[in-house]
């Protein structure tokens, strides 16, 4: 039985800056959020189809989309686990390798 699906994920990556919010008119903390949509196979092998970094005010939850390249430079480790973002690629390469080995041994 094949289990294929998708799910939205939102991760709070921490406080970015304390600043005045132009939307609600109050001074508060802005936080960095990572929002992505994960496609998965058996809930293990994943691939990311949409990814956005958002900087949102803690008070009104309004904000703006941040540039992914500048945000990802700040992290030592990628915020999305390896198998969640590249798991489907590993599954495909593993399947191809198994077929190659089977034909090589059978020949």
**Nearest-angstrom CA–CA distance, 34 and 24:** 22
pLDDT for 23 equals 82
What 8-state DSSP symbol labels residue 96?
A: H
**Nearest-angstrom CA–CA distance, 62 and 59:** 8
Is the model's pTM score more than 0.75? yes
Is residue 1 pLDDT above 90, yes or no?
no
pLDDT for 54 equals 93
39-94 per-position pLDDT tens digit = 888 777 888 999 999 999 888 888 889 899 888 888 888 899 998 888 888 989 99
Are 41 and 79 spatial neighbours (Cβ–Cβ below 8 Å)?
no
Q: What is the DSSP string of 48-87?
A: EEEEEEEEEETTT--EEEEPHHHHHTT-SS-SS-HHHHHH
pLDDT for 11 equals 94
| Domain range annotation of the chain | 4-106
> Mean per-residue pLDDT for 18-36?
88
pLDDT for 107 equals 64
Closest CA to 32 of 72, 2, 90, 83: 72
């Amino acid at each position: 039985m094949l289990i294929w699906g998708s799910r939205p994920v939102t991760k709070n990556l921490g406080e970015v800056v304390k600043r005045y919010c132009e939307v609600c008119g109050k001074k508060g903390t802005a936080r960095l959020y990572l929002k992505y949509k994960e496609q998965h196979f058996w809930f293990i092998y994943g691939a990311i189809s949409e990814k956005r970094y958002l900087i949102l005010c803690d008070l009104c939850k309004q904000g703006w989309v941040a540039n992914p390249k500048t945000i990802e430079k700040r992290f030592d480790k990628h915020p999305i686990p390896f198998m969640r973002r590249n798991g489907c690629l590993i599954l495909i390469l593993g399947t191809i390798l198994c077929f190659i080995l089977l034909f090589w041994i059978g020949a």
